[in-house]
A and B are shown apart, each in its own frame.
Chain A
């Protein structure tokens, strides 16, 4: 079996795809939650 870390970087790409998807999800979900909380604290809202 060929070296899974070597070219064509199969494991590296798989890890990159996973971390990338969940990383981007984390950024967007974080922003979503922050936005919801900041609307709750909105001074204009009674």
Chain B
């Protein structure tokens, strides 16, 4: 007679279910693979990790050798460098300051990026890709993320390589010691463009505290809100499966974050190609 201790805790039936507590937990793809399909940590994984470590160390040594970062003289308020550049990993943010209000470039957008990244596990219900590598099953998520990564890297690249004296743009073939002319382009707000194009009055319709609201100002609000409303509605109408998979809250959060991310290069293009300084102007913030 078998005593209590030697009895197996769970007996696996032919269907693979033990009938025990473990059955209540949803198994991931990796767990469904039996031991015969798995490989050993040593040597298979540790070997690859060791080779990766050697490769990265070599790369870092080569970088340190060919791109030295010597300590400069002590900082002095009398001789501030021109341009004053942040460490490379902050230059994306510094570059955003060219195109956005400091409040937006320095506070709102970084906060939205961090919150957006934190939210990813909650707004992405796609269970595929757990425990194994896949792109084809997660095209939207991976492409969306890589777009943000590309945008960020380009901004850093511009800040590191293409910004010179007075934060002006210098191509590699430009002389970095010659100042560029200031104020070469006159920038205007979207509100002024609406006023001029539609012949709208500059007289405010209503004044709320410091905020004098003109008709053109209301139109810029409509444009700004309309960007998000249209951007959220179009996939809802034409990609209903996508909406159904995410649900109301997840869908709206995803689309809002996606549109905000796409809005960054859009605003950059508006500034560069249409000389628009701000799309929306209020006494408290400018976008």
Contact = CB atoms under 8 A, between A and B. Distances in A.
Given A14-B273, A36-B135, A45-B37, A21 B169 contact: no
Interface secondary structure of B, over-half rule: helix
A24 B133 contact: no
Nearest to A32: B135
A46 interface: yes
B185 A35 contact: no
B146 A28 contact: yes
Nearest to B182: A8
Interface in B19-42: 36-37, 39
Nearest to B137: A36
A3 B115 CA distance: 41
Contacts of B235: none
Interface secondary structure of A, over-half rule: helix
Contact of A35 (B133, B180, B272): B133
A9 B154 CA distance: 16
A25 B273 contact: no
Contact of A21 (B39, B136, B265): B265
A18 B269 CA distance: 9
Nearest to B145: A28
Contact of A20 (B150, B168, B269, B272): B150
B227 interface: no
A35 B44 CA distance: 18
Contacts of A44: 39, 44
B147 A13 contact: no
Contacts of B135: 29, 32-33, 35-36
